[in-house]
Structure 1
Amino acid sequence: MREAYHVELDQLAQKLAAMSAQVADAMEQATQALLGADLELAERVISDDAKVDEARADCEEQAYALLALQAPVATDLRTVLAAIHAAESLERMGDLALHVAKAARRRHPDPVLPEQVRPYFSEMGKIAVRLARQAEQVIRTKDVEAARSLETDDDQVDDIHRHLFTVIMDRDWPHGVAAAVDITLLGRFYERYADHAVSVARRVVFVVTGKMPGYGTDDI
């Protein structure tokens, strides 16, 4: 019975890892759609978001069944609880990629971003996708040091996000209010996406060590 239970825990972890890969693909495609004004790619991200929602529901259903039927304790209980929280964070990452894709669709055929800020979003997109793929590997390996290393990449996204405010608040900003609003919202989407990836990694640290690392933001 216990062996079968641990097989189910492993299956749950694999589902979470697959979700992380899904949301990495979603943000990669959403960023490409944003930078390239690619309507077809944006529509693909938007339609595929339902698959992320379904994956979260599947993970939560299995996790709650394990809680109800197996009454786990100690590490096993931490694993199930962490899985529930991680599934929520991963679903939110999918939603944030969805928001980026919707911005690309809303402005099509015009580009969303002025040329001046495109390099910043290109870099944030690369880092965000890397964070999601690192989170996938952390889920699969339960590597605590790898989990903690995500913080460095997250800091880079935070730095770019803060710098964007100085760019759009410059009195010589030539692109108007609408562009400034788009940039503010999109920067926030990438910043939150990165935060949620770090939150997933922290849940793995909690599973392994029994201690939740301190948060660097107010609501990861």
Structure 2
Amino acid sequence: MREVFHDTLEDIQNRLVEISELVAEAIEKATRAFATRDVALAEEVIANDDYIDHLVLTTDEIAIETLAMQQPVAHDLRVIVSALRASASLERMGDLADHIAQLVRSRYPERAIPQGLMPVFERMGRLDVQVARTLTTLLRTQDLQYATQIRDTDDEIDELHASVYERVLGDSFGGEIPHAIDATLASRYHERFADHAVSVAKKVVYLATGDWSGADDDFDEIEAPAEAPENTEA
């Protein structure tokens, strides 16, 4: 029974990696569609979001059933709690990629934003793709150096997000009101995408260290302690 239980925990972790891979693919396609006005690619992202949602739901069901039936403790409990929290953020990241794709579709064949803002959004898109791929590696390896990389990239995305607001609200912005709305929404989607990646990274830190308060701090120099032997006498 113990071997079956740990196989289930491994399956949950593998499912999170799979979802993260799909989210990385979704944001890569969404940002590419946004830059090129590729509505067919945007439609693909929109259609695939249902599959991401399905994987999240089934993963949560497995985690909840395991929590109820096995009553795990120590590290095993942290795996399940972290998985439930991480899956919610991953699902939201998939939704945000979908929202970017929806902007492409709603404004086709026009651009959603003025050409002058595209370099900023192209940079934000590349950084979100980088964050998503790094998050997949973090979930696969639980190497906390990747959590630090995600945090640092998120800081750069936050700066770009602030610069979009400054441009849109500035006197020199020459776009129409719909352009201003779309630019604000798209920037917010990019910024929130990275924020959710940071949230998942914090949960991996919690899983590795067992210290939730530490997960709210900077990720620098966090090391996972040796796991104490689990009491199996119950």
User: TM tier, shorter chain?
Assistant: over 0.9
Is 1:214 paired with 2:213? no
More divergent stretch after superposition (144-153 vs 176-185): 144-153
State the shift of 1:3 in Å.
1.9
Q: How does 1:161-176 map to 2 (within 5 A)?
A: 161-176=161-176
Within 2, Cα distance between the matches of 1:94 and 1:33? 15
Gaps of 5+ in 2: 219-234
* 4+ runs deviating over 6 angstroms: none
Q: How does 1:43-54 map to 2 (within 5 A)?
A: 43-54=43-54
State the shift of 1:149 in Å.
2.4
Query: In the alignment, is the contact (CA less than 8 A) between 2:113 and 2:180 conserved in 1?
Result: no
State the shift of 1:204 in Å.
0.7
Within 1, Cα distance between the matches of 2:103 and 2:149? 31
Amino acid at match of 2:197: A
State the shift of 1:122 in Å.
0.7
Name 2:155's counterpart in structure 1.
155
Summarize deviations over 1:150-172 as a string: whole Å, max 9, x none: 10000010000001111111112
Q: TM-score, normalised by structure 1?
A: 0.95
State the shift of 1:129 in Å.
1.1
Within 1, Cα distance between the matches of 2:171 and 2:51? 43
Within 1, Cα distance between the matches of 2:173 and 2:82? 44
Q: How does 1:78-97 map to 2 (within 5 A)?
A: 78-97=78-97
Q: How does 1:40-79 map to 2 (within 5 A)?
A: 40-79=40-79
Amino acid at match of 1:151: R
Query: In the alignment, is the contact (CA less than 8 A) between 2:34 and 2:101 conserved in 1?
Result: yes
Name 1:188's counterpart in structure 2.
188
Within 2, Cα distance between the matches of 1:76 and 1:43? 39
Query: In the alignment, is the contact (CA less than 8 A) between 1:148 and 1:202 conserved in 2?
Result: no
Is 1:123 paired with 2:123? yes
Query: In the alignment, is the contact (CA less than 8 A) between 2:86 and 2:200 conserved in 1?
Result: yes
Q: TM-score, normalised by structure 2?
A: 0.90
Summarize deviations over 1:115-135 as a string: whole Å, max 9, x none: 111011111111111111111
The count of residues paired between Structure 1 and Structure 2 equals 216
Name 1:3's counterpart in structure 2.
3
Amino acid at match of 2:100: V
Is 1:201 paired with 2:216? no
Amino acid at match of 2:78: R
Gaps of 5+ in 1: none
Give the greater-gyration-radius structure (CA): 2
> What RMSD in Å do the two structures reach over aligned CA positions?
1.1
State the shift of 1:202 in Å.
1.0
Summarize deviations over 1:10-30 as a string: whole Å, max 9, x none: 111110011011011111111
State the shift of 1:215 in Å.
6.6
Is 1:100 paired with 2:112? no
What percentage of residue pairs aligned between the two structures are identical?
39
Amino acid at match of 2:141: T
Query: In the alignment, is the contact (CA less than 8 A) between 1:46 and 1:98 conserved in 2?
Result: yes
The secondary structure found in structure 1 opposite 2:115 is coil
Summarize deviations over 1:68-120 as a string: whole Å, max 9, x none: 11100011101101000111000000000000000000000111121111011
Amino acid at match of 2:150: L
